[in-house]
Amino acid sequence: MKTHPKTRSTVKRNIKREATRDVFAELAEGLAALADARAGKRILRSRYVEFKAKASNDPRNAS
């Protein structure tokens, strides 16, 4: 790294940038999937959670 003479800050040069994301395309894809799911054409990712019984807060049953 070189130091810039006027600002005395470091300047990085020749940095390779990684491929940028196409955020608009990702958003459009998500909205299309949502529209398909609402029309019944596609099932979005879903998870089924098994609920546990609520723990008792009764001090008489504390071990």
Express as a percent the part of the chain with pLDDT over 90. Answer: 14
Within 13 A of 12's CA, how many CA atoms are on the CB side? 3
pLDDT at 12 over 90: no
pLDDT of residue 2: 60
- DSSP letters spanning 20-56: PP-HHHHHHHHHHHHHHHHTTS--------PPPPPPP
Structure tokens of 58? Answer: 């009764």
Q: What is the pTM of this model?
A: 0.39
pLDDT at 25 over 90: yes
- Segment 7-28 mean pLDDT: 77
31-50 pLDDT tens trace: 998 888 888 876 667 777 78
pLDDT of residue 13: 67
